[in-house]
Structure 1
Amino acid sequence: MAGPHRRVIPREELTAWERWELGGIDEERRARQPAMPVVPAPVPPVVVEPEPLIPAEPERMPVETLPMAEVSLPTAEEIEAIEQQAMREGFDAGLEAGRLTAEDEIGRLKNVLQSLENVTAGAERELAESVLDLALVLARELVRQEVAADRKLLLPAIVEALSGIPPASGTSRLYLHPDDLSALEPMLAIELSGEHWRLIADPRLSAGDARIETASTQIDLALSARWSTLLRVLNRAGRDELNWDAPVSPQDGAASGG
């Protein structure tokens, strides 16, 4: 029997103690059998969407507050000195640039003047050569005309040639064109001694030609030979248009008034 001090423990206060109940026979048999493993149901894969990349903000450096330096403004004298220095530097730079430009211009002008001098010298040489050629052609035609008009023009050349040879000791001969011999025979008789000299007419000679033959000397006084000598002296040898027997061109005839 329960005494007056027996206390009934409510269900809510039961902790480690539980109520025991008699179970059935099947439950006891199942308890003695080994438990079958429980196969968990397959879990479908979970697709995880990638999160969009968000650019990280640049790390902001803390701005340090620098102490403001004191700025000293230049004085009026310093500003004027700076201006004067800048003006001097600009003047010197401009002067140097101008000097270099002037030197370049002078060099180009020298080259141009040198080219002009070369061209002028070449033109002068060509002009001088052309003038000399024209003078030779005019002189040749003048001599031809003068010799044909006056046979006595041959006499000075004969006298000069005779004065340059030793006195004739044997028989010497002077060959002349028949027309020249007729015109010069009276004068030649005075110059030449009849004992040693014989005057012979040679129709093979051209008017104005002469040939001297002595025992020791032979002199060809043909105009063509003397003209060839003149051309060699003037560096004109081999110029067919300047030869003594060359025909007169229309330009030469117009220049000589023919």
Structure 2
Amino acid sequence: MSDKPALARGADAEKFAPLFPDARRSGEAPVKLSAWQRWEMTSIVGGLQAANTGFSNAGGATLEPLKPVLLIDEAELTRLRLLAQQAGDSAGHREGYARGLADGHAAGLAAVQAQAAQLQALTLSLPGALRGADHDVADDLLALALDLARQLLGQALKAEPQAMLTVVRELLQAEPVLMGMPQLLLHPDDAALVKEHLPDELQAAGWRIRVDATLQRGGCRVLASSGELDATLPTRWERVAAALIRNVTPTATSLASTGAGHG
């Protein structure tokens, strides 16, 4: 059996001898210790220091102290600081925006509510205003229509005096037929016109012409024992006005009803 392992163990013992100075080397006489000899930690510490010294000098190289290494360069540190600042600014911006948005929403909501209240008040008052406006419009429309009709009638009589003949013909055909020698009262100018153009019709009906200077030209009256026919201008004008009122009033009523329906 080879003795190389034993030699190796001997060499190891020599190498680590400083760690255990009191250890017995091969071939040395055993160290005698008293039964109560005190064990000191310094023996191990001293041995470790000696071993370290041996290792450092074993290769003939000198270990230099480690230099501190900066893991993050200055540019990276600046970039990180900038990112942190931007993150803080962004958070502040979001917070300010949220606060401003909430304040703006509250202000906008208050404005909309105020406008809605005004609109509601206007809507509630609209039917009455429409009815009042409809009545005003109807009155204005009626007054305008009557004025236009009056002007047209006067212009027609002046431009065409023969229009009086149409009025007389309508009276001759009116029902019931007047009895008892009816008399046709006319303005002097109209009397001459009727005698010239309607002599046969008057004779067939048994009417006689009587001049009345108090009558306005374009109007006439028929007097008989069985009744009377009034075709004077004031009376005819009242009939025209009544017809206009009947035509205008339903329109105004319909407009008022429409306005009330929207309310």
Structure-2-length-normalised TM-score: 0.44
Which one has the bigger helix percentage?
Answer: 2
Whichever of the two has the greater Rg, that structure is 1
Structure-1-length-normalised TM-score: 0.44
